[in-house]
Amino acid sequence: MAEFTARQVVVIAAVAGALVGGLVAGGVAVAVSGNSTSTASSAGGSSQVATASVVRTTLTTPVQVGGSIGYDGSYAIANLRGGGGVYTWLPKPGQVIKQDQPLYSVSNEPVPLLYGSLPAYRAFDAGMSDSADVGELTRDLIALGYGAGLTQSNHYSSATAAAVQRWQRALGLQATGEIPLGEVVFEPGPIRVTSVTPSPGAPTGGGAVLTATSTTPIVVVDLDVSEEYLVKPGDAVSVVLPDGTSTVGGRIETVGTVATCPGGGGVGNGTSSAGESPCSSAGSNSNAAPTVTVTITLDSAPPEATLDLAPVNVNITTQQVDNVLAVPVNALLALQGGGFGVDVVTGNSVHLVGVTTGLYSNTLVQVSGAGITTGTQVEVPSS
C-alpha cells in the first residue's frame, strides 16, 4: 500500500462527526503536512490507503421511521340467506379468495365472490329495476366468459338471465336464471380472510361469517407531528422489510390531518406547561409526542411471510440532489485553515485539491473543485 505525507493523522468517526455536524459515519483525515504534492513510498508506513473514483450520481439524505406492514381495506361478510341450512365449508384465515371462488358453502352450495363496489342488497331476477348492482353482475358474467349475447348495462334482461343460468350450471347450482339474496357476495376485488366466525356444521341463521382485507399490501406509520413536514402524498420512500435486509419501494398515499396521542387521546389545546407533552396535558398520561397516521402503498408485493402487521422501517428522503459529483466521505481531508480537500492520485504522484462539499448521504458526499471530474482517482483509507 502507498503512503502519502498529506495523510499524517487519521481522525476516527467521532472527530468526523464534529467536523461535519454528525451527518456522516465515515472518518475524515486531517491534512497537517505543508506539502501539497508527494510521491508514493514503497516502504511500510503508518497510513495505508487505496483509491476510489469520483462518480456522478444522485444523493439523498433519508430519515428512518418505524411502521407496520399489513393489508389495505377491511370487509365484514354476513350470511344474508337466513336459516334453513348448515355451513358445510368455510375458508381459513390467511386464505385468498378471488372472483368466482366460494367464500363459504351452505348445504354444499357455494356462495361465490364477484367483483363490485356495491354490496348485494336484493335478489336478481327478471322485472327488477335497473340499477348499478345489475351492471356489476353483468360485468362479472362477461368477464367470466358467460356473457354470450350480453351487453354491458344496468338492465336485467333475458340475456342476463341466460348468462346467469350458464354461470349457475358451471358452479353446480340449479340453473334458475335468478339469484336470491345471499347467494352471491360483491367486494371490490380479491380478499384475504382474517377471521371466520362459524364452524363447519353450524346452522346458518344470518349474521357474521368472516372478516377480510384486500390483498394489497400497505404500510402504516404513526409519524411524530414534528416530522410531518417531511412528507406529502406522492413522495417516494423505501421500506426495509421485517427481515432487516430486503427493501421495496413505495409512495406516500395519505397523510393524516388529525394528530392523536397514544391510546387515541386528544392532543391538548396548546396550553400545556413548558416542557410538558401535549399528550400529557390532554389527559392521556403519556409524555409521548402526538402523531399523525401516514399510509404508504408499495411498488411491488413482498413475500407473504413478511406481512401481517410485522414491523418495518421506512426511509423518507428529506433532501436530494441529482447529477452531482461525489466521493466517499472518508476521502475528505479536513484542512488546517478550514474547509476540506481530497488527495488526487495521478500516476505515481498525489496532490491535495481543495473541494467544496454539498449534500452528505450515508457513504458519499457531494464535491466540486478544480480538476475534479468523473473518474478522477482520490485517496481513501484501505480499510
**pLDDT at residue 135 is higher than 70:** yes
Q: What is the model's pLDDT at position 24?
A: 41
For the question of whether the overall pTM of this predicted structure is more than 0.75, the answer is: no
SS (H, E, C) 166-187: HHHHHHCCCCCCCECCCCCEEE
Sheet holding 185-187, edge to edge: 87-89, 102-106, 109-115, 185-187
Higher pLDDT, 193 or 265: 193
Compute the distance between CA of residue 367 and CA of residue 359 in angstroms, rounded to an integer: 8
Q: Which of 15-24, 32-41, 334-343 has the highest mean pLDDT?
A: 334-343
When pLDDT is cut at 50, 70 and 90, the band that residue 277 belongs to is low
Percentage of the chain modeled with pLDDT above 70:
80
Compute the distance between CA of residue 325 and CA of residue 59 in angstroms, rounded to an integer: 9
**pLDDT at residue 105 is higher than 80:** yes
Beta strands in 72-128 (DSSP E): 75-79, 87-89, 96-97, 102-106, 109-115
Compute the distance between CA of residue 318 and CA of residue 316 in angstroms, rounded to an integer: 6
Mind listing the pLDDT tens digit for each residue in 35-89? Answer: 445 444 333 344 578 999 999 999 988 889 999 999 999 999 999 987 789 999 9
Q: What is the model's pLDDT at position 303?
A: 75
Angle between helices 158-171 and 132-143 (to 10 degrees): 50
**pLDDT at residue 297 is higher than 60:** yes
Helix (H, G, I), strand (E, B) or coil at 13: helix
| Pairing of β 185-187 and β 109-115 | parallel
**Beta carbons of 326 and 93 less than 8 angstroms apart:** no
Cα distances (Å, whole numbers) of residue 353 to 183, 224, 333: 78, 42, 9
The number of CA neighbours under 13 Å toward the Cβ of 113 is: 24
Q: Mean of the pLDDT values across residues 165-185?
A: 96
Higher pLDDT, 264 or 141: 141
Higher pLDDT, 279 or 58: 58
Q: Give the amino acid at 150.
A: L
Residues 6+ apart with CB under 8 A from 165: 175, 176, 177
Three cell numbers written together for 370: 478544480
Residues 6+ apart with CB under 8 A from 332: 28, 29, 340, 341, 342, 355, 357, 365
Compute the distance between CA of residue 150 and CA of residue 159 in angstroms, rounded to an integer: 6
Compute the distance between CA of residue 63 and CA of residue 362 in angstroms, rounded to an integer: 11
Lowest mean pLDDT among 14-23, 63-72, 291-300, 331-340: 14-23
When pLDDT is cut at 50, 70 and 90, the band that residue 8 belongs to is very low
Helix (H, G, I), strand (E, B) or coil at 252: strand
Q: Is the four-CA dihedral 297, 303, 308, 314 of positive or negative sign? A: negative
When pLDDT is cut at 50, 70 and 90, the band that residue 265 belongs to is low
Compute the distance between CA of residue 8 and CA of residue 240 in angstroms, rounded to an integer: 39
Compute the distance between CA of residue 192 and CA of residue 347 in angstroms, rounded to an integer: 63
Q: What is the model's pLDDT at position 4?
A: 37
Return the closest-CA partner of residue 228 out of 194, 192, 252, 199. Answer: 252
Higher pLDDT, 74 or 278: 74
Q: Mean of the pLDDT values across residues 13-17?
A: 36
Beta bridge partners of residue 31, listed in sequence order: 335
